[in-house]
């Protein structure tokens, strides 16, 4: 009789262990992005577990409660915000609930924006879910007067109450880290930065950047005007836009636009512009630091975005006719 009871209890014990093992595994085996989870002050353990289950972050409420008790952290769970993923096991999620963080706003700054566009993007993102905003776009613009090009594009997590100085410092500090990582010397930094700011607006993707940099380098060495449309767009945006929400990069430039008097007009002025026209990413900075040697002197993008290089003006004119359907003789 005792042997039979022992066998039954053994089977039940093994079954319970198997259930617990399965029930505390991640909800999904696939890697998934973290999501924000909030524990409100005063919520009891059962309420927290129920919320985790509703958000499909855990497999079993019972198994998770057992895990919390087993780890001895029932009284250590904090109120606040957490980043949790359904691809994380129950024990890890339980441990994470003991270390809350202050809420942050995740903002992605794309490559190639000018500082006014960055100011508008950050201002909107911080105000979207927060009434008590300390960020001021006017202060941001004042602080970045001499930092065009040095506000590194990336994805950042900001405190909702971050002020302009905090934001500027984060972006500029990141730029300095990238420059150091690429081992760009101080005596070459400004030239590389300006070229990279042109590449960011001219090249359609990172794979094109080294050869486009090579074409522009050929022109610089020969004393040719660069004839970069993006620099004219920058000049026009600077003269026409009087508020943040504006068309900073006007398309379909006219002949009159190409004659605008500005130090940024690379059709009228040889060499690089005196200052950057956008805030470049790491790929464009790398390409500007090491341009690809190329026999080409010209390039265009067709209507699908594909780039076409040319060695001579005759080849270039043919490309314009074939791929852009204009200026055909």
pTM above 0.95, yes or no: no
Tokens representing 323 are: 């791929």
What percentage of the chain has pLDDT greater than the value 90?
71
Do 117 and 139 share a domain, yes or no?
yes
At residue 162, φ and ψ (nearest 5 deg) are -65, 140
Residues 134-164 have pLDDT tens digits of 999 999 999 999 999 999 999 998 988 899 9
Residues facing residue 105 across a β-bridge: 158
Alpha-helical segments (H) within the chain: 2-23, 45-54, 61-71, 90-96, 115-128, 137-143, 164-181, 186-202, 209-222, 229-240, 282-289, 313-324
Place of tokens 């617990």: 20
User: Residue 6 domain-assigned?
Assistant: no
Is residue 12 in some structural domain?
Answer: no
Of the three residues 96, 127, 147, the one that is the final residue of a domain is: 96
Report the domain count for the chain.
Answer: 3
Domain with 43, as residue range(s), is 24-96
Same domain, 189 and 309: yes
- Give the domain CATH number at 67: 3.30.1490.480
65 and 110 co-located in one domain: no
Q: How long a stretch of residues is the chain?
A: 329
Q: Which of 178, 199, 229 is the last residue of a domain?
A: 178
Is residue 255 domain-resident? yes
Q: Are residues 130 and 239 in the same domain?
A: no
Do 112 and 69 reside in the same domain of the chain? no
Structural domain contains residue 7 = no
Same domain membership, residue 160 and residue 37: no
Q: Are 194 and 216 in contact (CB under 8 A)?
A: no
75-92 pLDDT, tens digit per residue, is 999 988 888 999 999 999
């Amino acid at each position: 009789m005792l042997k039979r009871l022992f066998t039954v209890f053994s089977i039940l014990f093994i079954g319970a262990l198997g259930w617990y093992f399965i029930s505390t595994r991640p909800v999904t085996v696939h890697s998934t992005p973290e999501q924000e989870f909030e524990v409100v002050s005063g919520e009891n353990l059962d309420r927290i577990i129920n919320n985790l289950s509703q958000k499909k972050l855990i497999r079993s409420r019972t198994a998770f409660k057992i895990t919390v008790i087993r780890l001895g952290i029932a009284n250590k769970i904090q109120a606040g915000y957490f980043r949790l993923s359904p691809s994380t096991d129950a024990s890890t999620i339980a441990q994470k609930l003991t270390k809350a963080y202050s809420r942050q706003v995740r903002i992605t700054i794309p490559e190639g924006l000018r500082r006014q566009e960055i100011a508008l993007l950050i201002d909107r993102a911080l105000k979207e879910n927060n009434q008590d905003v300390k960020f001021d776009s006017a202060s941001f613009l004042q602080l970045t007067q001499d930092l065009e090009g040095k506000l590194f594009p990336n994805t950042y997590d900001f405190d909702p109450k971050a002020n302009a100085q905090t934001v500027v410092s984060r972006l500029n500090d990141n730029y300095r880290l990238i420059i150091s990582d690429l081992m760009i010397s101080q005596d070459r930094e400004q030239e590389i930065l300006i070229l990279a700011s042109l590449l960011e607006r001219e090249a359609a993707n990172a794979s094109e950047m080294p050869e486009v940099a090579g074409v522009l380098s050929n022109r610089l060495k020969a004393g040719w005007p660069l004839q970069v449309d993006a620099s004219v767009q920058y000049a026009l945006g600077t003269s026409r836009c009087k508020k943040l929400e504006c068309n900073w990069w006007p398309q379909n430039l006219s002949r009159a636009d190409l004659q605008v008097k500005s130090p940024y007009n690379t059709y009228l002025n040889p060499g690089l512009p005196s200052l950057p026209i956008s805030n470049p990413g790491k790929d464009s900075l790398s390409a500007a630091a090491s341009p690809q040697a190329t026999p080409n002197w010209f390039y265009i993008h067709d209507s699908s975005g594909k780039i076409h290089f040319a060695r001579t003006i005759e080849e270039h004119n043919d490309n314009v006719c074939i791929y852009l359907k204009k200026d055909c003789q």
